[in-house]
Amino acid sequence: MSGGGTLPSVVDDGDDRIVCHVDVDCFYASCERLRDPELRGQPVVVGMGYESGEPHGAVATASYEARAFGVESAQPISAALERLPRMADARDDPSLDPAEAGYYRPVDLEYYREVAERIKTILRECADRIREVSVDEAYLDVTERTAWTVVDGRTLAEGYARYVKERIARQVGVPASVGVAPNMSAAKVASDHDKPDGLVVVEPGEVRAFFEPLSVSAVHGVGPVTARELRELGVETAGDLAAADPGILRERFGERGRTLHERARGHDDREVTPKGRPKSLSRESAFTEATDDAARQRETVAGLAADVAERAAGKDALYRTIGIKAVTPPYDVNTRERSLPGPVADADLVREVALDLLAEFAGEPIRKLGVRVSNLQFAAAEQARLDGWDRADTAECEGDVPLCDQSSLGDFDA
């Protein structure tokens, strides 16, 4: 950020934080094994739209033993069956080898949710703040529970992560991979780095080196499409991405380019906040060309302010700080904010304060404007609902949608 103030609520590089990312290994298959010991150690395929004995449906997940046969998520069951026949068929058919067959089960979401609920209870006990990303995946901020201090050649954080992992194994009975790092995106990559049953620790100061050799698609937020586009630019590894020209990335991918560049460099300021309870809410709008037309600028800010206030109202959020962002050519990001004596939910006030802050830029050309409310508080009734782990949707933050957690709510600096 240059050319202006920084928002005090934005954390620095957060090198002292300790974030764990927990992701259960082949979750649905692990749940099936939990209630049917016959499946343990065996190839297991869980099919969406699958019915016993039928070839219909698609693979929701496969155990690692089944993956070794080439079975993977989203594959049609018929294709999976070609690679890995059903155990029942193999037993009846002398031309098939039961040692090269697997168990197929239909999805039973209700049961998986129950198991997820048991895991969630443990995770809640293990961290001060947790963010549930999908049915089998969560970020934990454990900064207050442990430390990066090294004792006998290991960090205390590693011991703590092992404790979390073992509690899940012992109390619930499913294997999970855990990544520990000073920020969310590095923790996410770490948990994925040594699956299944992984425990990967990336200490502060090692994040950039850890990313360096990885494929660019390992960077959280780089899906197959972005990976392909990056490769066209000659960017193959996360190290290449970290070293790439930020101007070119921004040109090609917009703000997202900046975020991905930062992540590859080991920076990720996002805080672990419960889903639906962001640290801030904001909206931005870019002009096709920089404009110094004060009326247009004010009109834009007024519109953004109304939008942000409405979203805050929709979330039953009160705010104590109102801010604006003004991007001036070439790409100087200026932020200004004002804090109020107490939390409010007042659309007129958001507009007034935002316009007042804009006045400082009178006469300057502006490329982009943003309005943000922060220091949020949520009404108590709403908190109970938002805390619920009530959805079985998955992989929400994968693919080419990198800004879908709290940063999608528009954190200026995400």
Residue 60 interacting with ligand TTP (CB under 6 A): yes
Contact of 72 with 59, CB cutoff 8 Å = yes
- Rounded-to-integer distance, Cα 215 and Cα 234, Å: 12
For the bound state, the minimum distance from the C-beta of residue 337 to ligand TTP, rounded and expressed in Å, comes to 38
Q: Name the active-site residue from 32, 132, 137, 337.
A: 137
Residue 26 interacting with ligand TTP (CB under 6 A): yes
**Cis preceding linkage at 196, omega within 30:** yes
For the bound state, the minimum distance from the C-beta of residue 27 to ligand TTP, rounded and expressed in Å, comes to 3
- Rounded-to-integer distance, Cα 200 and Cα 264, Å: 17
For the bound state, the minimum distance from the C-beta of residue 113 to ligand TTP, rounded and expressed in Å, comes to 11
- Rounded-to-integer distance, Cα 194 and Cα 203, Å: 16
Q: Is the Cβ of residue 136 or residue 337 nearer to ligand TTP in the bound state?
A: 136
For the bound state, the minimum distance from the C-beta of residue 177 to Mg ion, rounded and expressed in Å, comes to 8
The correct pick among 9, 21, 22, 23 for binding Mg ion (CB under 5 A) is: 23
Q: Which stretch binds ligand TTP (CB under 6 A): 21-29, 264-272, 304-312, 319-327?
A: 21-29
DSSP class per residue in 25-82: TTHHHHHHHHH-GGGTTS-EEEEET--TT---SEEEEE-HHHHTTT--TT-BHHHHHH
Residue 75 interacting with ligand TTP (CB under 6 A): no
Three-state SS at 341: strand
Residue 136 interacting with Mg ion (CB under 5 A): yes
Residue 61 binds which entry of Mg ion, ligand TTP, none, with Cβ cut-offs from 5 to 8 Å by kind? ligand TTP
What secondary structure letter does DSSP report for 361? G
Q: How far is CA 123 from the centre of its chain?
A: 17
Site for Mg ion in 343-382 (CB under 5 A): none
Q: Is the Cβ of residue 130 or residue 409 nearer to ligand TTP in the bound state?
A: 130
Residue 251 annotated among the catalytic residues of the structure:
no
CA distances from 111 to 31, 47, 102, 236 (A): 8, 15, 21, 41
Contact of 245 with 226, CB cutoff 8 Å = no
Q: Please identify which residue in the block is written with the tokens 């890995």.
A: 84
For the bound state, the minimum distance from the C-beta of residue 73 to ligand TTP, rounded and expressed in Å, comes to 4
Q: Which stretch binds Mg ion (CB under 5 A): 41-49, 136-144, 280-288, 339-347?
A: 136-144
Residue 50 interacting with ligand TTP (CB under 6 A): no
| Residue 53 burial by Cβ neighbours in a 10 Å radius (0-12, 13-18, 19+) | exposed
Residue 73 binds which entry of ligand TTP, Mg ion, none, with Cβ cut-offs from 5 to 8 Å by kind? ligand TTP
Q: Which stretch binds ligand TTP (CB under 6 A): 10-18, 19-27, 81-89, 253-261?
A: 19-27
| Residue 203 burial by Cβ neighbours in a 10 Å radius (0-12, 13-18, 19+) | middle
Mark 172-201 with x for binding to ligand TTP (rule: CB under 6 A) and - for no binding: -----------------------xx-----
Residue 395 interacting with ligand TTP (CB under 6 A): yes
- Rounded-to-integer distance, Cα 181 and Cα 190, Å: 8
For the bound state, the minimum distance from the C-beta of residue 24 to ligand TTP, rounded and expressed in Å, comes to 5
Residue 110 interacting with ligand TTP (CB under 6 A): no
- Calculate Rg over the CA atoms of the chain: 24
CA distances from 137 to 21, 301, 319, 397 (A): 7, 37, 29, 11
Q: Which stretch binds ligand TTP (CB under 6 A): 26-34, 166-174, 255-263, 301-309?
A: 26-34
Residue 65 interacting with ligand TTP (CB under 6 A): no
Residue 32 interacting with Mg ion (CB under 5 A): no
For the bound state, the minimum distance from the C-beta of residue 162 to ligand TTP, rounded and expressed in Å, comes to 18
Residue 28 interacting with ligand TTP (CB under 6 A): yes
Residue type, 99: A
Residue type, 367: R
The correct pick among 18, 19, 22, 24 for binding ligand TTP (CB under 6 A) is: 24
Residue 97 structure tokens:
């080898």
Torsion of CA 25, 26, 30, 33, to 10 degrees: -140
Residue 23 interacting with ligand TTP (CB under 6 A): yes
> Footprint of ligand TTP on this chain (CB under 6 A)?
23-28, 48, 60-61, 73-74, 136-137, 195-196, 394-395
Chain residues that interact with Mg ion, rule: CB under 5 A: 23-24, 27, 136
Active-site annotation, residues: 137
